[in-house]
Each structure stands twice: as C-alpha cells, then as structure tokens.
Structure 1
Amino acid sequence: MKIDYTAVGEKIRDARLNARITQEVLAEKTDLSITHISAIENASTGVSLQALTNIASELRISIDFLVFDSRHSNLVIESEIKNILSDCTDREAQVLLELLKASKEAVKRLK
C-alpha cells in the first residue's frame, strides 16, 4: 500500500486547525520543528512512524484516520466522536448521546 502523503498532510492540518493549535504548538508538543510540521502538512516530505504516532496522539486522532483513505470506517468515526466529546461536560456528553440516538432512529425510519 502506498501512502498518500498529500492526504495525510491535509488531514493533519485539518485536525490541527480543528484543535485550534498552531504549527508551533504542535511542533513543540511532538518534539518536531515547525519547518518539519509545515513540510508534513504540505507533503513536501514523508513522515516517520514515530512522528505520525506523536502527531496523532497530540491531535487525539487515530493513525488509521491519517493513513487510510476511508473517512467512514468505524474506527475513524469512533475517533472523531471521541474527539468531539473530549472537552464536553458530563451533561453536554449526555445531551449529545441522546441526540445521536434520536438521529439514528430517524435515519433508520427513512430506509
């Protein structure tokens, strides 16, 4: 399998922006240089497994999400849901869970 470094870089940039952190902060927290983070995001360089692991961990996303094409696999979806819930209060998480359950039922009725 060939890794699409352009897609990986775009996903990292999107996740970093969604987390509202700068390249500088990500570089500091992953022990990489700002130049290296920029090069990874722009696909002008590859990324080592260690760097990819550190970035994924810091951004709270799965390596599967970064490396594989499908944004719809269950692992990717679970990772995105975890990320969404990560800064919620217990009450906010409960409300979102109830909304998800209601949405699921509505989707099933549409079939």
Structure 2
Amino acid sequence: MERNPRPRDLKEEVLNLKEQPGSNILVLGSGELVRTLMKHDLVDEFRIMIFPFIRMSGKRLFTDNIKTMSLKHVYTKALHSGAVELTYRLSKEDNVFHQGSD
C-alpha cells in the first residue's frame, strides 16, 4: 500500500471525513483541537458538560482570542451525577467565528 508522503491539512482531512457516510465526529478532551476546528469553521455543534464542582485552575476551552460566536441552545440533559450536558449549534445565519489577535 502506497502512502502519500505529504501529510494532509487538518481542515482538508476533516472536510473529507464530513463527506463520508456515518455518524458524527466527536472530539473529547482536546481543547487545542477544538479551538483549531473553530478557527477553520469546522464545528457544527458544541456539547458542553457542566460538573457540580468548582476547580480554581485548568485549561480554558474558549480563550481570550475568541471574540464572537452566536450559538443556539438545542438540548439540555441532566445526568444522575448532577452534571448537565448542554447542546448548542452554531447560528450560521447571523454569525461566523471571529478570530481575535494572539
């Protein structure tokens, strides 16, 4: 089997995956990857889990260089653990991801 010696661009690879039949693409626990996908307008939906405890430090998913994203709430699910799953979709009509300065 022959491999392409040049690695494919992330955006190109994700767009190719989105054209394939099958289920959704899910990213768990990689804020850096999610931010990169957001930068390339490749995120259709966010499923954000809120857990019933406060941590005073950690990595942020939405960093300061994200200026505006219009989201539409589409679903809420309360879990037995006390956590809540919130589902939002991008409001494509009135917004596109805006990248701030680094």
TM norm. shorter chain > 0.5: no
Tell me which protein shows more strand as a share of its residues: 2
**Higher relative helix content:** 1
TM-score class, shorter:
under 0.3
Determine which structure has greater relative contact order: mean sequence separation of CA pairs < 8 Å that are 6+ residues apart, divided by chain length. 2
